[in-house]
Structure 1
Amino acid sequence: MRIQTPLATNVVGSLFPLLALCQDNANWISVGDDGRSFSLSSSNVSYQFHVDPLTLDLIHDHWGAYAAETVPDFNGVVSGWGTAYTYRRREFPDLGRGDFRVPAIHIQHSDGDTVSAFSYTGYDINPGKPSLPGLPATYGSEGDVSTLIIHLYDNYSDISADLYYSIFPRYNAVTRSFRITNNGSRDVTVLRASSWSIDMPNEELEMIDLYGDWAAEARINRRSVTYGEQGFRSSAGYSSHFHNPFLALASPSTTESFGPVTGYSLVYTGSFSADVERWSTGWVRVLLGLNPLHLSWPVAPGEVFTSPEVVSVYSEQGLGGMSRSFHSLYRNHLSRSNYTFETRPPLLNSWEGLGFDFNQSSMVKLAKEAADLGCSLFVNDDGWFGTDYPRNNDSLGLGDWTPDPAKFPDGLGPYVEQVDNILVQNTSEHVKLGLWVEPEMVSPDSDLYKRHPEWCMHAGNHNRTLQRNQLVLNLGLQEVQDYIITVIESILDSAPIKYIKWDNNRGIHEMSSPSANHANMLGLYRVIDNLTTAHPEVLWEGCASGGARFDAGLLHYWPQSWTSDDTDGLERLYIQFGTSYPYPPSAMGCHVSAVPNHQTGRTTPLAFRAAVASMCGSFGFELDPSTLTQEELDTIPKLISTQQRINPTVINGDFYRLALPDQSNWPAAMFVSPEHDSAVLFAFQIRSALKPLPPPLKLQGLDPDAKYTVSNGTWEQNWSGSTLMNIGLSLSWPTSDYESIILTFDRH
């Protein structure tokens, strides 16, 4: 429905009663009887704001636990050195009218000025949720989600803004994005676009975010929110290793299991900015959206700019409750792959075994060795392509996606047929083949670059800086998009390839303009949308030197991403626990590699490495089977069998971080099925210690009234859910480092 409201008159401060206008969706969206106060609510949460009666500016009231009424700020006008706009908790803050805090929207008009004055004009309420043109976003039917659209207009510039709020009641989640329409006769430029903006009250808060670098992703960072600006951003052209497009704000007393927390996740893969600013009033402004250094987006007359979506969830069950909301929402209403809820095949990747030095015979031999271990997917990594510039090292051939005739003289078809004829050990299942690709990149020594040097990202006559001996293709150009779609389609048409590992191994330098990054992202989304839609039978995995693009944007298109190039078992515990704050473990890929680990030099037991890898949706190996001992060859099939048995619970279950590796020598986590009838526990000992003794491990998420059979595969015990959660387990650990225990729980 569309409601147009007249200019408001002054009203005295009072409780704003709410009149439900969306009866079909369980009153998830309600509007005050004055037509100017709004609430998106479920039984657990409320998001509330209203229209200022004098200026028609939007004022934020509340985001958190459910509240039956909207309560205005009774502090009245706050005096100070600023204007009235300085001392308001604004919902869509602009720049230039006296609000000196960081704005959510910043537009440069054709005459050069950057003042905006958006005023409320009306609203719509729609069941379900519209898609975002050209962008990944959450989705759902009217039984899952309802959407409020707030209409604003700047009469001075003829620019309209539509704010899209959607509530997913089942997940305690609200999403937000906006659209800017140029209704004037001259171009304007969007300089800053924060999809989420909120002014929180004066409360003591701590910010949690994820920082890192290559092979050290997703380290948990928790700090107090003090006066002034604090935040983080990626200027790498991608979401990046350095910072993840996620943050949370929590009370200092909030823990994993108790206390209030709001989480914010940007559904986007490019450069981004997260800004948290505590003002003189103590209010805290939270902004999440595009990085203004990489925006300056031109909007011609009649055109529309759409901001990416931000998902926010509220939890009173601590950071764990926040994570479970994100996980469930993203599995059910963001990821759209056929494999999202499916058990993933155990795989062996060729890279650690053969690198660039292989041919068809050696690859088939390695695939047979993988099958003998129990792997049903064999992945041919880098080095399989290139004719004039064969990919025999990492300086050649990127962009030339044709099989190297020296390695595969008859093309991929006969090679894949040979692999497909291999039987997996002790099964009737045949091995499937997957390929590594890096389609967004080009080598200077390649046929593609020789033909089209103008296709790479470059800035005038500046140096075209190489990183990992390669350049970035400009996917902002449609001809580049079409080329990538065509060559990947030709690969998939040439043979029954069942898995694609899509890599990206460098950031973007020398952009032709600030807007080139967002144009590149829109082009990337078009390419991946086309390919994944046309080939739903393929299991797609994202990779960017590990976790440099582990974000909600790409999770929309493929069900899993390579979490890190660091495959050391201990380091992976930190990386995976951190990544799980916003992203479901079902979307993580983790493999068992050889020891000593080639990144850290550390040697950990095979069972420990396998247990860490089994905590992820996708499990596999990065090693050369010919170098394994007989004991390892005998053990790996058993580890795969265990992993496949518990993988459905890992894929579909609710995830509980019981003890973090940052805080305990005995980190642990568990997955509980949605019906609470099964669970799997992963527990670890980092260092052997005589004292102190390990604390009892209290489980979570079980049915307290049910009895569970607890098993490690060789013994069984029966305990009630209440005993397991309130007394806990006292696990017995060997006197050795890097130990692991996997227990399963089955309800009677």
Structure 2
Amino acid sequence: MKSFKQIISKVKLLVLFIILYGLGLGVKAQTIIIPVETAKNALVLQVGSNRDLNAIYFGEKLLNSAEYSQIPGTFKQTEDYTSLLNSAYTPSGSRNLMEPAITVTHADGNNSLDLRYVSHQIKKVDDDVSLLSILLKDPVYNFEVTLFYKSYFKEDVIEQWTEIRHKEKGNVVLHKYASANLYVKAGSYWLNQYHGDWAKEMQPEESQLTHGIKTLDTKLGTRANLFQPSVFMISLNQPASEDEGSVLYGAMEWSGNFRIDLEVDYQDNLRIIAGMNNYASPYTLKPNETFSTPAFLYTFSDKGKGEASRKLQSWARNYRLLDGKGTRLTLLNNWESTYFDFNENKLAELLKDTKKLGVDLFLLDDGWFGNKYPRNDDRAGLGDWQENKSKLPNGISSLVKEAQSNGVKFGIWIEPEMVNSKSELYEKHPDWVIKQPLREEHYFRNQLVLDLSNPKVQDFVYGIVDKLFMDNPNLAYIKWDCNAVIYNAYSAHLNNQSHFYIDYVKGLYKVLERIRSKYPKVPMMLCSGGGGRVDYAALKYFTEFWPSDNTDPLERIFIQWEYSYFYPAISSSNHVTDWGKQPIKFRTDVAMMGKLGFDIVVSKLNGNDLKFCQDAIQTYDVMKPVIWQGDQYRLANPREGSVASVLYLNAEKSSGVIFNYLVNNRYGEGSKRPILLKGLDAAQKYKLKEVNLYPGVNSTIDDSRIYTGDFLMKVGFNPDVNAGRTSVVLQLDELR
């Protein structure tokens, strides 16, 4: 008679056989094709006979979807020894030989993982949006991953993320957990990445990808995009230009540490693996617990960078940016007028200047808080969010009322995630501060970061915003800053320190969710010492972002140009300041290519400068719907010539605004040749008129002439930019 152990052993083998058979390992299963199609593009997945889920196509979609199944047979490349080179989500420790998307240690200590297709379903969210989910399971361990593909048909955009869960008898440790694993075939691949630093954001750098792995990542914890923004482009076969070439745009929707691996494999294909950075972050997953990754966003165009950016901008306005189809407030900021040195009387005069200038709102910047440790410089007070009684004896509420009496709104600056060691908050709650208990504190801009993985800190940060609005219901605007990175990462709250970097960002999102639940419509600027935190996960909660503390208008032309590939004009806060040597007209014209603001001493403007600013604001109010909601066409690249030119055109192709700038001050430089316009109706007739003229200056543009769209796109128009006309703004209107 067989022993009980022998019976149990045979039962286990039988169960394993049934599982393997059900996953298609015991029989040849029918090939399943799963296309993710948008208006012009397709990502095509295939379930093979062994239930591997592979990507077989990415690019312009085919007219006949039945032909997708023929694609693999057209390639005669070297052998794939693993059947995982083009895996839709590559596991590690089993057959895989390349960079994995996911790495785990099971409850029994085993490090291998195999993921096989189980099922998929497609949900129609609305006429434009569909959600595909694909369930993958390990045939041996009770471990599963669900892949999500959210497609936006008209915009040709896809968001991709994963959910990871298990039912093992103990905890599983996730060592890598990507959001997406793309697979692209081409003759060569050209990466356009970005780097930077404070006041030098979005510096482009293009290079050909070679075999091996190129990694784009950050480990800063907060202000994560300071050195390495989480956006990039991949051109296929040759570097894409503005209007020609095949190009993929990618962006991580995550406000913390990210990692993007770009691997050209031995078959000369490109594998893109993107997600949260697993640096110092193995994540322990309990049974039945779900680990969700942030979305990786991408779009593709076979007509160059310009079309790809218009798709992404349209998607952002329609689906992601808070109030992306709404309006924005023009403002006057006090920072460069007063810095920390102000009082109620000074601010009262600035409020009058706000009305005189003609903008909507006055923004009070840093320095309004702290009593025991007054915020008179950046070394003290951060964390103590009570009004400074010396500067503001009557509090913020009196300023809000003063603003109302002047016919303008009032907004305020906060940096609620941060603390100075010289503060009451630091003294009362040192356990709320991110710092190693045994190491010397190290400061970034004289400050440390609060531990948002701690629910008590989340309540505190939410309470800062909530109290401001409870005490001042008419408060109209928040500028949310984040100036420090994380040093000596350690949470007194967390038992598992390897969860810290992820739980910090999740804590930040919890706070922002609470704020938006109670205050859904209040405009908020996303600032991080400039553009240190610009991503589409954060922009769900903010109406706009601050691209850079560098407001020199010449520099801003380049910075705003690069941001515009990924973000729409309505999201970009651009202020007129005293940075740079350009005249007020040049500075204002550059700032108008987005959400206009001023940070100048209005009382020091001469009569003509003030008159120009007042008139420009009125002109802007007329043009801003086209700038904010129109299609953007880059006409002349400042990196390729002496003139920069950008067109914003409404959907009907009947109205537009063209900004033109001289970016080279060498002798005789200017718009020597006409600039070709784009996007117009070739058969329609148009007139061009120069606007935003400085008082007393006459235009050299003959606005009585009539042009067809065909002429303007094939021959072009010369804005007459030169050393005497360094900035020219043209209004384009169809002839009615």
Q: How does 1:126-525 map to 2 (within 5 A)?
A: 126-128=123-125, 142-238=126-222, 239-251=224-236, 252-337=238-323, 340-422=324-406, 430-495=407-472, 496-512=474-490, 513-525=497-509
Letter in 1 for 2:112: V
2:32 alignment partner in structure 1: 36
Question: Is the aligned partner of 1:743 residue 2:694?
Answer: no
Structure 1 position 378, deviation (Å): 0.5
Q: Give per-residue Cα distances to partners, 1:5-43, cap 9 Å, x unaligned.
A: 94337999xxxxxxxxxxxxxxxxxxxx94622001134
Among 715, 723, 726, the alignment partner of 2:711 is 723
> How big is the shift at 1:693?
5.9
Q: Is the 8 A contact 2:107 2:169 kept in 1?
A: no
Note if contact 1:199-1:285 (Cα within 8 Å) is conserved in structure 2: yes
Matched residues in 2 for 1:316 and 1:155: separation? 40
CA deviation vs aligned residue, 1:334-364 (integer Å, no higher than 9, x gap): 1233xx2334222111110111111111111
Equivalent residue number for residue 53 of structure 2: 58
Partner of 2:154: helix, strand, or coil?
Answer: helix
Contact 1:195/1:288 (<8 A) preserved: yes
Could you say what the CA RMSD is over the residues aligned between the two structures, in angstroms? Answer: 2.1
Cα distance in 2 between the residues matched to 1:210 and 1:308 = 21
**Residues in 2 aligned to 1:308 and 1:518: alpha-carbon distance in whole angstroms:** 11
Percentage of matched positions with identical amino acids? 28
CA separation in 1, counterparts of 2:675 and 2:543?
Answer: 31
Q: Distance in 1 between matches of 2:713 and 2:76?
A: 50
Deviation at 1:524, TM superposition (A): 0.6
Alignment partner, residue 82 of structure 2: 84
- Counterparts of 1:408 and 1:519 in 2: how far apart (Å)? 37
- 1:683 matched to which residue of 2? 660
Distance apart, 1:421 and its partner CA: 0.6
Contact 1:5 1:122 in 2 (8 A): no
2:7 counterpart residue number: none
Distance across 1 between alignment mates of 2:717 and 2:677: 8
Contact residue 210 and residue 578 of structure 1 kept, 8 A: no
The separation in 1 between residues aligned to 2:31 and 2:538, in whole angstroms, is 38
Q: In the TM superposition, what is the alpha-carbon distance from 1:638 to its structure 2 partner?
A: 1.6
CA deviations on 1:614-667 (whole Å, 9 max, x unpaired) are: 011x21112222332333222211222222221111111111111221112111
Query: What TM-score do the two structures reach when normalised by structure 1?
Result: 0.89
Q: CA separation of 1:333/1:35 partners in 2, compared to 1, >3 Å: closer, same or farther?
A: farther
SS across alignment from 1:638: helix
Tell me the secondary structure at the aligned position of residue 293 of structure 1: coil
Structure 1 695/473 Cα, relative in aligned 2: closer, same or farther at 3 Å? same
1:219-249 residue CA offsets vs partner (Å, 9 max, x unmatched): 1221111111113111111432211111221
SS of the residue corresponding to residue 706 of structure 2 reads: strand
**Matched residue of 1:292: which SS?**
coil
Matched, 1:733 2:731: no
* Native 8 Å contact 1:399 1:447 kept in 2: yes
Structure 1: distance between partners of 2:312 and 2:394: 47
- Structure 1 residue aligned with 2:610: 633
Distance in 2, Cα, partners of 1:10 & 1:700: 58
Cα deviation 1:122-175 (Å, max 9, x = unaligned): 1122121xxxxxxxxxxxxx2121111110112333111000012111011222
Change in 2 beyond 3 A, CA 1:695/1:275: farther
1:696 to 674, 677, 689: 674
**Is the CA contact (8 Å cut-off) linking 2:31 and 2:49 kept in structure 1?**
no
Q: Could you tell me which amino acid in structure 1 is paired with residue 313 of structure 2?
A: H
Q: Distance in 2 between matches of 1:215 and 1:76?
A: 47
1:342·1:651 contact (CA, 8 Å) conserved in 2?
no
Q: Single out whichever of 65-74 and 205-214 deviates more from structure 2.
A: 65-74
Tell me the distance in 2 between the aligned counterparts of 1:394 and 1:431. Answer: 29
Task: Check whether the contact 2:190–2:239 (CA below 8 A) recurs between aligned residues.
Answer: no
| Alignment partners' CA distance in 2, 1:528 and 1:691 | 48
Please tell me whether the aligned partners of residues 104 and 193 of structure 1 are also in contact (alpha carbons under 8 angstroms).
yes
Q: Within 1, Cα distance between the matches of 2:225 and 2:102?
A: 24
Rounded to whole Å, the distance in 2 between the matches of 1:231 and 1:316 is 25
- Inter-CA distance 372–76: structure 2 relative to 1 (3 Å threshold): closer
Which residue in the other structure is 1:139 paired with?
none
Tell me which amino acid in the other structure corresponds to 1:605. P
Whichever of the two has the greater Rg, that structure is: 2
What is the alpha-carbon distance in structure 2 between the residues aligned to residue 697 and residue 514 of structure 1?
Answer: 54
- 1:27 maps to none
Q: d(CA) in 2 for partners of 1:9 and 1:462?
A: 54
| Equivalences for residues 572-587 of structure 1 within 5 A | 572-587=556-571
Task: Pick the aligned partner of 1:48 from 39, 44, 47.
Answer: 44
TM-score, normalization by structure 2: 0.90
Task: After TM superposition, give the deviation of residue 85 of structure 1 in Å.
Answer: 4.3
**Residue 588 of structure 2, aligned match among 589, 610, 618:** 610
Q: Is the 8 A contact 1:605 1:739 kept in 2?
A: no
Kindly state the Cα deviation for residue 543 of structure 1 after the two structures are TM-superposed. 0.1
Q: Does the aligned pair in 1 maintain the 2:149–2:158 contact within 8 Å? A: yes
Partners of 1:186 and 1:722 in 2: how far apart?
69
Structure 1 counterpart of 2:625, from 635, 643, 648: 648
Could you tell me which residue of structure 2 aligns to residue 131 of structure 1?
none
Aligned partners of 2:74, 2:315: CA distance in 1, in Å?
37
Distance 1:391 1:280 in 2: 58
Q: Work out whether residues 271 and 294 of structure 1, in 8 Å CA contact, stay in contact via their aligned partners in 2.
A: no
**Structure 2 vs 1, CA of residues 261 and 671 (structure 1 numbering), >3 Å: closer, same or farther?**
same
Letter paired with 1:644? D
Indicate if the aligned counterparts of 2:45 and 2:54 stay in contact, CA closer than 8 A. Answer: yes
In 2, the alpha carbon distance for the partners of 1:537 and 1:328 equals 21
Matched residues in 1 for 2:21 and 2:526: separation? 47
* Partner Cα distance (2:564, 2:21) in 1: 44
